[in-house]
Amino acid sequence: MDIFNPYVIALVAAGLYMAWNIGANDLANAMGTSVGSGALSLKQVILVAAVFEFCGAVFFGKRVTSTLAKGIVPVEQIRMIDPHLVVIGMLAAILAAGFWITLATFYNLPVSTTHSIVGSVLGFGLVSAYHGIISYSEIHWSVLIKIVASWLVSPLLGALVAYILFMLVSRFILQKTDKPFAVEKKFVYLQTMTACYMAFAHGSNDVANAIGPLYAGLNVLGMNGVQIPTWIMVIGGFGMVLGLATWGYKVIQTIGNKITELTPTRGFCAEFATASVVVLHSYSSLPISTTHTLVGSVIGVGLAGGLAAVDLSVIGKIAVSWIITVPVAALTSALIFTGLMGIGI
């Protein structure tokens, strides 16, 4: 593979841009509870993410990357017809998802980067089917159904685990002490540990959103070997940490301060629940939405204090952004793919 090939440069640049977006939006979601509860400062969160997000991405992110690279659209069949189409399609998918996440981050909305890239890859597949390159039945609908099902289950599971965990903490610890402030102070240390766990879990699952399509495109261009090279994982990990450090504060404010009041005990429960659900899905190779799972977990600990403790207006805005993400990403990807083919790139 020629690293100076314009297509290689374009794919790597787009992958880095997508990873930066994931850091600014999705990783910011993951770390927002630590900042919102006061357990960690923004600078400390960046340091935690720099180590554990990077490790999760590089050492445990290959399973989900393979699913996004080849699991939704029949890449090998398109490659046999015209390898060039795979490269352009994956480039369009990365750019479409990146543009949408940039817009969402600008408006402080925690959207799902997983939804964005899955929708974008699907948009490429649908255009390919429309032009007769593949048939609609050759799109891997069964894999897509599993992914969508995991999106529905993960926030409910996160909310349930977080709710139960916080109720246990409340009943057996908070209600049995006359010094709740001292307990909260001790939970700062526990939440520091769950922040590390959360960063590792996020890196293991969401790095695929940036480098899955990147890997698929580079593979067509002659990258040797079936295994995903470590340097590609490094690009994803580095880009996500950079995104959090440079622009993540906007979404951190939404997750950490606007849904419900967070204390170290609540933040600990939300992070532990989310990280556990995400790692479970990473092991099963399914790309789930860390955003959905974390918001579900934050709502879960909020509901433990009663419905009035949750800001339903903020949740409503987040829910709308979730609903429109897949169709918007798919349409944008289809338009970019069609446009790139039309101008002969």
Give the pLDDT confidence of 63-118 residue by residue, as tens digits: 777 777 667 899 889 999 999 999 999 999 999 999 999 998 888 777 788 889 98
Q: Place 255 in a pLDDT band, splitting at 50, 70 and 90.
A: low
Q: What is the pLDDT of residues 165-184, one digit of tens each?
A: 999 999 999 999 888 899 99
Pull the structure tokens for residue 202. Answer: 């996020």
Q: Is 35 helix (H, G, I), strand (E, B) or coil?
A: helix
pLDDT band at 288 (very low <50, low <70, confident <90, very high): confident
For residue 210, the one-letter residue type is A
Can you read off the two tokens belonging to residue 125?
């597949």
Q: Within 10 Å of residue 103's Cβ, how many Cβ atoms?
A: 14
Residue 85, H or E segment: helix 83-106
Q: What pTM did the predictor assign?
A: 0.85
Residue 59 has pLDDT above 60, yes or no: yes
Count the helices and strands in the chain (H runs, E runs): 14, 0
> Tokens 């980067």 identify what position?
113
Tokens of 312: 């339903």
- Decide if pLDDT at 328 tops 80: yes
What is the percent of the chain where pLDDT is above 70?
A: 92
Asked if residue 283 lies in contact with residue 63, where contact means CB atoms within 8 angstroms, the answer is yes
| CB atoms near residue 224 (< 10 Å) | 8
What confidence score (pLDDT) does residue 160 get? 94
Q: Residue 306: which pLDDT band, with cuts at 50, 70 and 90? A: low
pLDDT at 206 (0 to 100): 86
